[in-house]
Structure 1
Amino acid sequence: MTTPRDTPAPRRVRANGDGTVYQRKDSRWEAAGYVLAPGNTRKRIRVYGTTRKDALAKLTEKIAASNRGLPAPSAQGSLAAYLTYWLENVAVHHLRETTHTRYTACIDRYLIPGLGKKKLAKLSAKDVRTWLNQLRTTCQCCARGIDARRDQLRCCAAGQCCRKQLSPLTLAYVHSVLKSALEHAVREEEIPRNVARTVRTGAPRPRRFEPLTADEARQLLTTTQGHRLHALFELALHTGLRKGELLGLRWEDLDLDAGTAAIRRTLQRTSTGGLTTLPTKTRASERRIAVPARCLQSLKRHHEEQQRDRDAAGAEWQHNGYVFTTPQGRAIDPTNLTRTFTTLLRKAGLRRTRFHDLRHSTATLLLEQGVELVVIKELLGHAHIGVTATVYAHVRLRLQRQAIDTLGTVLDVPGNDESTRDNGDDPPLRGATVR
Structure 2
Amino acid sequence: MTPPRDTPASRRVRANGDGTVYQRKDGRWEAAGYVLAPGHTRKRVRVYGTTRKEALAKLTEKIAASNRGLPIPSAQGSVAAYLAYWLENVAVHHLRENTHTRYTACVRSYLTPGLGKKKLTKLTAKDVRTWLNQLRTTCQCCTRRIDARRSQSRCCAAGQCCRKLLSPLTLTYIHSVLKSALEHAVREEEIPRNVARNIRTGTPRPRRFEPLTADEARQFLTTAQGHPLYTLLELALHTGLRKGELLGLHWEDLDLNAGTAAVRRTLQRTSASGLTTLPTKTRASERRIALPTRCVQSLKHHQDQQQRKNEAAGSTWQHNGHVFTTTQGGPIDPSNLTRAFTTLLRKAGIRRIRFHDLRHSTATLLLEQGVELVVIKELLGHAHIGVTATVYAHVRLRLQRDVIDVLSTTLGSPETTGTASGRGDEPPPRTAAVR
Q: TM-score, normalised by structure 1?
A: 0.91
Task: Indicate yes or no: 2:27 matched with 1:27.
Answer: yes
Letter of the aligned partner of 1:30 in structure 2? E
Letter of the aligned partner of 2:150 in structure 1? R
Distance in 2 (CA, whole Å) between partners of 1:169 and 1:28 is 49
Alignment CA distance shift 1:68-1:145 (3 Å): same
Distance in 2 (CA, whole Å) between partners of 1:298 and 1:404 is 41
* Structure 1 residues 408-430: Cα deviation after superposition (integer angstroms, max 9, x where no partner): 4455544237999xxxxxxxxxx
Deviation at 1:23? 2.3
Distance in 2 (CA, whole Å) between partners of 1:231 and 1:356 is 17
After TM superposition, the structure 1 = structure 2 runs for residues 287-366 of structure 1, keeping only pairs within 5 Å, are 287-366=287-366
Alignment CA distance shift 1:95-1:418 (3 Å): farther
Contact 2:265 2:286 in 1 (8 A): yes
Deviation at 1:404? 3.5
Structure 2: tracts of 5 or more residues without a match: 1-5, 421-435
Deviates more, 1:232-241 or 1:73-82: 73-82
Task: Give the match for residue 120 of structure 1.
Answer: 120
Task: Give the match for residue 423 of structure 2.
Answer: none
Task: Give the match for residue 256 of structure 1.
Answer: 256
Task: Give the match for residue 236 of structure 1.
Answer: 236
Paired residues, number = 414
Secondary structure class of the residue paired with 2:15: coil
After TM superposition, the structure 1 = structure 2 runs for residues 90-101 of structure 1, keeping only pairs within 5 Å, are 90-101=90-101
Distance in 2 (CA, whole Å) between partners of 1:405 and 1:198 is 44
Contact 1:408 1:419 in 2 (8 A): no
Distance in 2 (CA, whole Å) between partners of 1:26 and 1:137 is 45
Deviation at 1:54? 2.7
Task: Give the match for residue 172 of structure 2.
Answer: 172
Task: Give the match for residue 45 of structure 2.
Answer: 45
Structure 1: tracts of 5 or more residues without a match: 1-6, 421-435
Contact 1:262 1:287 in 2 (8 A): yes
Distance in 2 (CA, whole Å) between partners of 1:350 and 1:56 is 74
Distance in 2 (CA, whole Å) between partners of 1:79 and 1:92 is 18
After TM superposition, the structure 1 = structure 2 runs for residues 402-421 of structure 1, keeping only pairs within 5 Å, are 402-410=402-410, 412-416=412-416
Task: Indicate yes or no: 2:162 matched with 1:182.
Answer: no
* Structure 1 residues 84-116: Cα deviation after superposition (integer angstroms, max 9, x where no partner): 111111111111111111111111111112212
Contact 2:129 2:199 in 1 (8 A): yes
Letter of the aligned partner of 2:317 in structure 1? W
Distance in 2 (CA, whole Å) between partners of 1:166 and 1:412 is 49
Deviation at 1:168? 1.2
Alignment CA distance shift 1:16-1:419 (3 Å): farther
Task: Give the match for residue 285 of structure 2.
Answer: 285
Deviation at 1:239? 0.3
Deviation at 1:407? 4.1
- The sequence identity of aligned pairs, in percent, is 83
Contact 1:412 1:419 in 2 (8 A): no
* Structure 1 residues 315-358: Cα deviation after superposition (integer angstroms, max 9, x where no partner): 32212111111111111111111111111111110111111111
Deviates more, 1:235-244 or 1:14-23: 14-23
Letter of the aligned partner of 2:371 in structure 1? V
Alignment CA distance shift 1:324-1:145 (3 Å): same
Task: Give the match for residue 68 of structure 2.
Answer: 68
Deviation at 1:257? 0.5
Distance in 2 (CA, whole Å) between partners of 1:174 and 1:71 is 28
Distance in 2 (CA, whole Å) between partners of 1:412 and 1:338 is 51
Q: TM-score, normalised by structure 2?
A: 0.91
Secondary structure class of the residue paired with 2:360: helix
